[in-house]
Chain A
Amino acid sequence: MTEAISLSDLTKRFGEQTALDRVSLRIPAGTVVGLLGPNGAGKTTLINCLTTLLQPDGGTIEVLGHDPATDPSLVRANIAVTGQFAALDEQINPRENLVFFGRLLGLGKGEAQQRAGEMLERFELGEAAYTPVGYLSGGMRRRLDLAVSLVVPRPVLVLDEPTTGLDPRSRKLLWEMVRAEAARGVAVLLTTQYLEEADQLADRIVVIDKGRVLADGSSDQLKRDVGGLMCRLTLTSAADARAALLALGELPGVSAEGEKVAVPMARPEDVGGVLGLLEGKGLRIADIEVTKPTLDEVFFAFTEPSQAPGTSETSQAPGNSVKGAAR
């Protein structure tokens, strides 16, 4: 079976700068792939190439077997896309936006009206249906933008930072919508800055930076490679923190700074052992926090080897579950 999306060695240059450097990516139907990367990583460029808005300089793209270079309209007919920035007509209202784009996509007048009503309800925009888009809040616009993209369902869904600017409730709404689409067999590619989001949604996460794929794997694989959880303890004094450091000396990677101590952990249950060791020394804990690696930490882990060419490959290098790292 052909993959829904298949990119190989995709390359795009802007003058001297290489925005995409031999990026390969495969997304089967019914899966969600999260594209994770810092500003300027090339996420939007990748999406623009995929959605026929940009012409790549090298490599191949296939969307359900169609090549954007030779069959742009077939590619367009199969992709629903929400760009990074709002693509709405500000002067007309949400309902009219939905009807306008729906009709351009081939819906009849009545069908477009009906579909607009459904989408307004689904994205909780009913109350704003007749307010000009220019007056809507940022989050409402974002939701409308997504609603417009979905007004005619397509087998491929591409979302560029869909939850930027959304409140937690709307974010949940979107996540559930993405899951529902994937469950229907839609192939979803979404970019994000939030590891948490990729974690929640994506079957596979692709980390890119400076146009290169640094890691490609499931969320669990990625986290294992980055170092699992971090237990952050605050003690009552710096002296206590030093004592704690001694007490925890057996565990790898423990560090102390002021009255704070950070302990890397493989599993959440390990927190019991850490607390036991400290209690044994009679140390009082003012605050405790267990966090997942932050996006920073993921990038740090994955970008380190390439940033310091001199350092040995083994230091913090992602494990072998991660392909394409440090090419």
Chain B
Amino acid sequence: MTVQSPGPLAPTASPSPSPSPDPTTLAGASVIIAGRVIRQFVRNRMMLIVTIAFPLLQLFMLLAAFSVLVQDTQGVDYVRRLAPLIVLTTAFSSILTTAIALWSDIRSGVFNRLRAMPLDMRAYVFGRIGGDFVRIMGVAVLVTLVAHTVGFRFSNGPLAVLGFFGIVALFGMMCSALAVAVALVAQHPGIIVRYVQMPTLVMTLMSSGYVPLEAFPGWIQPVVSVNPVSLAAGALAGLSHEGALTVPVLGTVAWTLGVTAVCTVVATRRFALLVKRG
């Protein structure tokens, strides 16, 4: 009836590492936590489908359905307009899933374990945002490559390509910051769904992305034109192919930096409370 104890349990065989390693630095810990976020994403089939397969499917379906039609009336290849928008919506629509994942993570045992560890907890927020940002950029590059196979092209040289991904990066940063702030403020996940799902959908539809500004009724055009999705989509279209640059680029920079700043302040406050909790 006795259970054999395996050798390594003997006190003499007490194992290797130095008794107390130095704690990680803030940057080091942030990178490790970002690595976890990316690993979780790659392992999660559902997330992969929602954030990659759906947008690509949307790209192909809309192309098939409207390409001919829009080309006829506008004289522009629809994919030039559509691809940048799909790149943006992948980031935009991931706010919901990211926020919900974060909401449950900070209520999980893992978060409490981290709180009980000698760790600068700001690394948790930086790591989350950093990992999320890398994910958004990865998906953006992937979607751009796929769009390339169906006719999307950069026609303004390497600097414009850099600018293109710079705009995507700003937009992605805003989305990560929004997701974190929403997750920290919300009392339950239902609130996240209510305040994120509809607004992101409406903002996407009410942008000059799918449909040109002139196609909207006159009275709503001002709203459509200041919509950050319109501005960013315009900037991306201008950088990749043709179109106005100054207003969309400056508009995008203003929106993304502004929203990110507000979200950072809100998130930092809420997070400090959360870490202290009790």
Contact = CB atoms under 8 A, between A and B. Distances in A.
Contacts of A106: 20-24
Contacts of A53: 112, 115-116, 277-278
A91 B118 contact: no
A87 B32 contact: no
User: What does DSSP make chain B's interface, helix, strand, loop or mixed?
Assistant: loop
B11 interface: yes
Interface string A31-71: 00000000000000000100111110000000000000000
A104 B110 contact: no
B14 interface: yes
Contacts of B109: 83, 85-88
Contacts of A107: 17, 21
B15 A115 contact: yes
Contact of B16 (A52, A115, A168): A115
B117 A105 contact: yes
B24 A103 contact: yes
5 contacts: A73-B118, A76-B116, A87-B113, A100-B36, A104-B117
Interface residues of B, number: 40
Nearest to B5: A176
B113 A180 contact: no
Given A107-B17, A152-B17, 15 more contacts: A48-B278, A76-B117, A77-B23, A87-B113, A100-B35, A105-B23, A107-B21, A122-B6, A148-B113, A152-B20, A152-B21, A153-B17, A172-B5, A176-B5, A180-B10
B8 A105 contact: no
Nearest to A119: B15
B32 A184 contact: no
Interface stretch (B37-45, B89-97, B171-179, B240-248): B37-45
B50 interface: no
Interface residues of A, number: 49
B3 A87 contact: no
B119 interface: yes
Interface of A: 48, 51-55, 73-74, 76-77, 79, 81, 83, 85-89, 91-92, 96, 100-101, 103-107, 111, 114-115, 118, 121-122, 124, 132, 148, 152-154, 168-169, 172-173, 176-177, 180, 183-184
B43 A124 contact: no
Nearest to B113: A87
B142 interface: no
The winner among A51, A87, A154, A176 for most chain B CB atoms within 10 A is A87
A77 B118 contact: yes
Nearest to B11: A183
B116 A51 contact: yes
Given A76-B116, A83-B113, A91 B21 contact: no
Given A53-B115, A168-B3, A103 B39 contact: no
B158 interface: no
Contact of A101 (B23, B44, B113): B113
Contacts of B267: none
Given A83-B109, A121-B8, A153 B117 contact: no
A54 B43 contact: no
The winner among A83, A107, A152, A154 for most chain B CB atoms within 10 A is A152
A180 B36 contact: no
B8 A122 contact: yes
Nearest to A151: B17
